[in-house]
Amino acid sequence: MIEHNPLYQAMKDAVSQTFENMAFTEVIEHFDQDYQIPEDQLAWTSLVVKDPVPGEIFMAVNKDALKELAGSMFLLDEDEITADKMSDILHELLNTVAGLFMTKLLAENQAFQIGLPVTGEGPLPEFDGDSVSWKLITGDEQPVQLFITGAPLVALND
């Protein structure tokens, strides 16, 4: 655990605040930092950070958890939850997390530009040495994984 690290803490705070405000659930550090969401249960999205520090942010969740989130956030019955609704929720969660993350990380009132979230297909991409990951879990014991890539964005880790 590297809680003293500003980059790590900024993401933890952004995810926690987002999930508490939007999904009414807490998010804490996952008890098993080696855990990976199985590919057949994986739903993920990413967005590009364009300025002032280029990079990309990825969010991965369990499909069943995403369905539950979509149901509770849209107040829908299970049979009313479509793939589009689940994708919308995942995009909205990542967009909110990314905005809060950048706001917490950058100097006060520093402008930043992020792209629109894009739904991922299949397994997560392979991440290289210029990446940082967070393994978190909701109060409902659903895993939430985040990754940032791109040397300039990851360099804020120093």
pLDDT for position 3 = 42
pTM given for the model? 0.91
Domain boundaries, the chain: 6-157
DSSP E strands in 8-107: the ranges are 27-29, 42-51, 55-62
Please give the Cα distance from 14 to 27 (Å, whole number).
Answer: 10
Residue-wise pLDDT for 16-65, tens only, equals: 999 999 888 899 999 998 899 999 999 999 999 999 999 999 999 999 88
Of all residues in the chain, what percent carry a pLDDT higher than 90?
54
In terms of CATH, what superfamily is 6-157?
Answer: CheC-like (3.40.1550.10)
Of all residues in the chain, what percent carry a pLDDT higher than 70?
96
Owner of token pair 């994708």? 87
pLDDT greater at residue 91 or residue 83:
91
The percent helix, strand, coil of the chain (3-state, each to 5) is 40, 25, 35
pLDDT for position 71 = 79
For the chain, count helices (H), then strands (E).
Answer: 4, 7
